[in-house]
Structures are given as structure tokens and as C-alpha cells.
């Protein structure tokens, strides 16, 4: 039996499903999280710079390097554990260590990242967070800590994964520039589950921040589309006015507006599309947490519904507005093209009518010339015929005047018939 030939990338694709394992953590412990995005077109950034920045951190601790084309890495940095991931537009670093400080969210946790290494980052911080993991002693104990740690007005807190732990955050940037997340675990909650929830919280924060970039684009779209829509409405009013100018000029204005719209679509299409994808990931990550009410506080899903969803609806509205404006501009251009075609047809009809009138005048002139030609030719022909018959008139006793009077109608008829015949032969040869 012949061996089965594998696709050359079969194992690579199968291993991709297992390339990003969750970290394993026990309580108490803490983590520092950082997401970096390159300025400009981050999706086309030089990923070699990301790798060089990672290696610079690994070399400080003498840690092994990842594979050349790796998009994920987990390793030991002394007493810390590092998780690194490369995504379409950003890279993320998560450092874990055992134990927590007596201070609520101690910025020293983020000092796990060397400051000079942070300063050399090939991009800008999208978000950063400090995560604190402690055993859950009681619900009242946890509520007291959360009230002193986080902003009560925006606090979101919930039991997750069938009540095995509680997670909380106020989604506010603290004075040190970081988001804060608290995790309280029950004794039966395993290390892998803690790591999975921590990863989900980091993803929620990162994709939320990336989604909010679309809000900036949406506000820009709203401003520019308002100007374009005003111009388009003015052009439509001008097109329907009785004293409207040349349709060709208005068509040029419509095409200019259409070009502006297409340019705006090209500039914002990726960000608007990515915003929708990131927002969907945020919703999915919250859904898999399987939230339950914690002491009457608002759930993560409720917080997102009140604060995050309106921003995403603004982005979607801007996208629809841009699409509708493009459709309107296309319809206006089609109407103007129709108007131009109708105007040109009317001009062509007027031109053809003018040509018909000129042809009729030319025909009348031609017929007049033909009549005069018959008279002129007949005049000379009568003279010639007269000279030919004069010798025979005297014996017959016919006067010269009588003879000319008699032959004139005959000569006129012959000349007229001859010209008609010649004209008929000419038309017959000219016919296709």
C-alpha cells in the first residue's frame, strides 16, 4: 500500500491550535501585562523589531530564544515567568510571579519590566495592567478590599466559571498608568483555571482598547462625511433647479465628491473592520467567563453594555453613514449622467433638425439651379438648332421667328429630359 502524502504544512497547522497555552498560576500571585502597538500601519510593521525587543529582554536573564518565526513564547526569566504573543497589530508581554504585596496594586509589580527596556519598545503602549490574585476569604472581605482599591462608580465584579473565583476591575487607568484587575479564588480552583481567567481578562482589556481606536476613526468619519453630505445635497438641489448650470460641470463635482468618499473608505476600512472583529472578541471572552452576580455589583457584561457598546454603535453608525453616502453619491452621479445623456440627445436632435433644414434649402437651391440650367442650355440649344434648320426655312416659306417658336418647346423638353436622365444615372451609381 502506497504511503499517504501529507500536506507540507499539515503539522504546522495542527500545532497552531496548541501554540498558545494558558499560563498556570496559584494564589497568591501577581502579574504585569503590557500590549505594544507600532505607530502607523501596525499590521504591516517590521516584526523583526518585535523579536529583537523580546530577545533583548530574554538576554538580560540568559533565557533561551524563541524559534525564528514564532508568534508565541513562554519561558523562565529568573524567578518570573514570561508569556509573549505576537498578534496582527500588536505584541503582548505578561510576567507572572508568586506572592502579593501588602500594598493594594503595587506599581512595583510592573517594575518587573526594566525601565530602559520599556523605553526602547518599537511602538506605543496600547494598554498595561496589574493583576492581583488572592484566595477568597469571604464575600464581605472581598467587597471591603474592592471598595478601597477600585472606583466604586465604575466597578465591575462577578463570580466566574461556576463561582470558582471572583474577578473585578474598574477599567480606569491609575496614577501609574495601568489598569487594575483583582482575582479572588476558591481553594478548589486549579492553577490552569486561574491562568485561563487571567488570560481572558488581559484579552478583554487589550481588545477593548484596540476597539476604541475605531471610535477615533468614527469621529473623523462623522466630521468629513457631514461636509461631503452638505456639498452633495447642494449639488442635488442645483441639479433640480430650473436655472441649473451645465450638467457636465455638476458631474465633475459629483465625481470629485465620490473620489473623496472612496479615499475616506480606503483610509478607514481596515480600522473599522478590525474594530468590529475586536469588539466581537471582547463579547466572546466575557461570555465564556459565565458570570454570576457578586454582592449586587454590576457584571462585566453590564459594564460593557453601558460604556463599551455605545462606542461600538457609534463606529457601526459611522460605517453605515459612509456606505450610505457612497451609495447616494453613486445614485447622484448616475442621475447626472442620465441628464447629460438626455441633454446631448436633445442637442443631437436639434443638430439633425438643423441639418435637415439646411439639406432642404440646398435641395431647393439645387432645383432652382437645375431649372436655370435647363433655360440656359435650352437657350443655346435653340440657337444651334436654329442655325441648323435656317437653310431649309426659305423653300418652305417659314419665317425664322416662327421656326424658333416651334422648336423652342421641343428643345426645352429634350434638355429637361436629358438632365433628369443624367441625374437619375448619377443617383443610381452613388447608391450603395
Burial of 408 from C-beta contacts in 10 A (0-12 / 13-18 / 19+): middle
Residue 72, number of CB atoms within 10 A of its CB: 15
pLDDT of 369: 66
374 found inside a domain: yes
Distance CA 149, CA 141 (A): 12
14 found inside a domain: no
298 found inside a domain: no
Distance CA 299, CA 167 (A): 10
- In which residue ranges of the chain is pLDDT below 70? 1-2, 15-20, 102-108, 241-249, 367, 369-376, 378-380, 382-388, 390, 392-401, 403-407, 411-412, 415-417, 419, 422-424, 426-432
9 found inside a domain: no
pLDDT of 125: 95
Quick one: 78 and 128 in the same domain? yes
Quick one: 277 and 376 in the same domain? no
Burial of 201 from C-beta contacts in 10 A (0-12 / 13-18 / 19+): buried
Quick one: 27 and 174 in the same domain? yes
| Residue 72, all three cell numbers | 508565541
pLDDT of 392: 65
What is the domain extent for residue 138?
19-191
* Residue 281 · residue 205 · CB < 8 Å: no
For 84, 167, 300, 312, 313, the CA distances from 305, given in Å and listed in that order, are: 30, 18, 9, 10, 11
Quick one: 105 and 173 in the same domain? yes
165 found inside a domain: yes
Quick one: 244 and 273 in the same domain? yes
Quick one: 269 and 233 in the same domain? yes
Distance CA 66, CA 368 (A): 102
pLDDT of 426: 63
The last residue of one of the domains, among 191, 226, 261, is 191
Quick one: 82 and 217 in the same domain? no
pLDDT of 256: 84
Quick one: 257 and 378 in the same domain? no
The answer for residues whose C-beta is within 8 angstroms of residue 190's C-beta and 6 or more apart is none
Q: What angle do CA 337, 343, 344 make, to 5 degrees?
A: 90
The number of distinct structural domains making up the chain is: 3
What residues are paired with 37 via a beta bridge? 90, 124
296 found inside a domain: no
206 found inside a domain: no
Q: What are phi and psi of 129, to 5 degrees?
A: -150, 150
The single residue listed with the C-alpha cell 518599537 is 122
The last residue of one of the domains, among 160, 191, 222, is 191
Quick one: 376 and 337 in the same domain? no
Which helix (H) or strand (E) covers residue 293, if one does? strand 292-293
What residues are paired with 36 via a beta bridge? 91, 125
Quick one: 273 and 127 in the same domain? no
Distance CA 49, CA 123 (A): 9
394 found inside a domain: yes
Q: What are phi and psi of 102, to 5 degrees?
A: -70, -25
Quick one: 143 and 187 in the same domain? yes
The last residue of one of the domains, among 158, 191, 224, is 191
pLDDT of 19: 63
The single residue listed with the C-alpha cell 505578561 is 94
Quick one: 145 and 99 in the same domain? yes
Amino acid at each position: 500500500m502506497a504511503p499517504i502524502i501529507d500536506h507540507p504544512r499539515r503539522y504546522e497547522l495542527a500545532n497552531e491550535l496548541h501554540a498558545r497555552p494558558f499560563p498556570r498560576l496559584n494564589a497568591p500571585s501577581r502579574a504585569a501585562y503590557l500590549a505594544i502597538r507600532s505607530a502607523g500601519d501596525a499590521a504591516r510593521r517590521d516584526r523583526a523589531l518585535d523579536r529583537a525587543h523580546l530577545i533583548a529582554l530574554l538576554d538580560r536573564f540568559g533565557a533561551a530564544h524563541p524559534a525564528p518565526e514564532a508568534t508565541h513564547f513562554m519561558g523562565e526569566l529568573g524567578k518570573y515567568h514570561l508569556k509573549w504573543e505576537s498578534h496582527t497589530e500588536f505584541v503582548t508581554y505578561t510576567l507572572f510571579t508568586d506572592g502579593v504585596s501588602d500594598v493594594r496594586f503595587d506599581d512595583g509589580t510592573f517594575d518587573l519590566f526594566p525601565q530602559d527596556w520599556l523605553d526602547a519598545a518599537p511602538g506605543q503602549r496600547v494598554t498595561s495592567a496589574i493583576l492581583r490574585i488572592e484566595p477568597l476569604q469571604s464575600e464581605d472581605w472581598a467587597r471591603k478590599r474592592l471598595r478601597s482599591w477600585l472606583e466604586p462608580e465604575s466597578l465591575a465584579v462577578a463570580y466566574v466559571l461556576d463561582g470558582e473565583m471572583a474577578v473585578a476591575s474598574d477599567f480606569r487607568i491609575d496614577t501609574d498608568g495601568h489598569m487594575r484587575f483583582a482575582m479572588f479564588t476558591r481553594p478548589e480552583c486549579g492553577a490552569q483555571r486561574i491562568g485561563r481567567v487571567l488570560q481572558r481578562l488581559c484579552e478583554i482589556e487589550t481588545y477593548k482598547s484596540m476597539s476604541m481606536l475605531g471610535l477615533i476613526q468614527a469621529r473623523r468619519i462623522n466630521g468629513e462625511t457631514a461636509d461631503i453630505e452638505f456639498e452633495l445635497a447642494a449639488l442635488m438641489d442645483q441639479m433640480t433647479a430650473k436655472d441649473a448650470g451645465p450638467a457636465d460641470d455638476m458631474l465633475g463635482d459629483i465625481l470629485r465628491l465620490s473620489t473623496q468618499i472612496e479615499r475616506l473608505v480606503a483610509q478607514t476600512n481596515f480600522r473599522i473592520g478590525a474594530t468590529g472583529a475586536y469588539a466581537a472578541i471582547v463579547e466572546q471572552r466575557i461570555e465564556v467567563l459565565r458570570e454570576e452576580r457578586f454582592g449586587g455589583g454590576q457584571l462585566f457584561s453590564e459594564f460593557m453594555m453601558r460604556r463599551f457598546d455605545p462606542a461600538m454603535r457609534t463606529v457601526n453608525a459611522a460605517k453605515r453613514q459612509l456606505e450610505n453616502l457612497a451609495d447616494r453619491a453613486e445614485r447622484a452621479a448616475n442621475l447626472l449622467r442620465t441628464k447629460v445623456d438626455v441633454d446631448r440627445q436633445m442637442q443631437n436632435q436639434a443638430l439633425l433638425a438643423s441639418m435637415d433644414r439646411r439639406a432642404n434649402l440646398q435641395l431647393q437651391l439645387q432645383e432652382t439651379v437645375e431649372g436655370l440650367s435647363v433655360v440656359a442650355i435650352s437657350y443655346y440649344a435653340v440657337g444651334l438648332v436654329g442655325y441648323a434648320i435656317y437653310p431649309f426655312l426659305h423653300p418652305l416659306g417659314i419665317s425664322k421667328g416662327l421656326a424658333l417658336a416651334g422648336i423652342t418647346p421641343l428643345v426645352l423638353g429634350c434638355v429637361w429630359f436629358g438632365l433628369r436622365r443624367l441625374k437619375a444615372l448619377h443617383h443610381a451609381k452613388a447608391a450603395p
